[in-house]
């Protein structure tokens, strides 16, 4: 699985003009299931993200995790993270999991993150979503498991 994680002050996702998910201070997590991924990868990714020390402590050092800060996560499915741009001008997405697997693993990831005691809200798999955020830092990290 792949994720693009952004430390945010706030983030929201809208579908048809309505906010369906939001978070305050915490992480915006764009997640993509790849062909061949299983629940094990989804769980490993959730644990890694919940424990990643990318929040500042009292001395201004990135020593705290999302769990340490009590922050929340907004999880948004994003199959375009599977883009293959090695040739041509049009990205290929054949390495992304098929939609039924992608949805199952996306939901599994969100539940695994909740199991790490992180408040989680989500977007809607397969929907045309508009995501807004206020990046904090900025801190943006690519993760692949």
Q: In the structure, what pLDDT confidence band is assigned to residue 140 with cuts at 50, 70 and 90?
A: very high
Task: Tell me what the pLDDT averaged over the chain comes to.
Answer: 97
Considering the candidates 6, 78, 116, 122, report the single residue annotated as catalytic.
78
Percent of the chain with pLDDT over 70: 100
pLDDT of residue 32: 98
Instruction: Judge whether 29 and 5 are in contact, CB under 8 Å.
Output: yes
Instruction: Judge whether 63 and 52 are in contact, CB under 8 Å.
Output: no
Model confidence over 25-84: pLDDT tens digits?
999 999 999 999 999 999 999 999 999 999 999 999 999 999 999 999 999 999 999 999
Domains of the chain in start order, with CATH, are 2-144 (3.50.80.10)
Considering the candidates 55, 79, 109, 116, report the single residue annotated as catalytic.
79
Kindly report the pTM of this predicted structure. 0.96
Six-digit token string for 15: 């579908």
* Residue 140 appears among annotated catalytic residues: no
SS3 readout for 25-48: CEEEEEEECECCCCHHHHHHHHHH
Query: Mean pLDDT throughout 114-124?
Result: 98
- The rounded Cα 53 to chain-centroid distance in angstroms is 16
* Residue 134 appears among annotated catalytic residues: no
* Residue 85 appears among annotated catalytic residues: no
Which residues make Cβ contacts (< 8 Å) with residue 60, sequence separation at least 6?
none
């Amino acid at each position: 699985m792949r994720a693009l994680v952004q430390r945010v002050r706030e983030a929201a996702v809208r579908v048809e003009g309505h906010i369906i998910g939001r978070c305050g201070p915490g992480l915006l997590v764009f997640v993509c299931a790849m062909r061949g991924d299983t629940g094990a990868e989804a769980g490993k990714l959730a644990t890694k993200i919940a424990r990643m020390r990318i929040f500042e402590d009292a001395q201004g050092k990135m020593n705290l995790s999302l769990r340490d800060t009590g922050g929340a996560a907004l999880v948004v499915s994003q199959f375009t993270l599977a883009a293959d741009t090695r040739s041509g001008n049009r990205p290929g997405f054949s390495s992304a999991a098929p939609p039924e697997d992608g949805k199952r693993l996306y939901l599994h990831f969100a539940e695994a993150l909740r199991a790490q005691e992180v408040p989680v809200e989500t977007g809607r798999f397969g929907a045309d979503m508009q995501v807004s955020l206020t990046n904090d830092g900025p801190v943006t990290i690519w993760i692949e498991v």
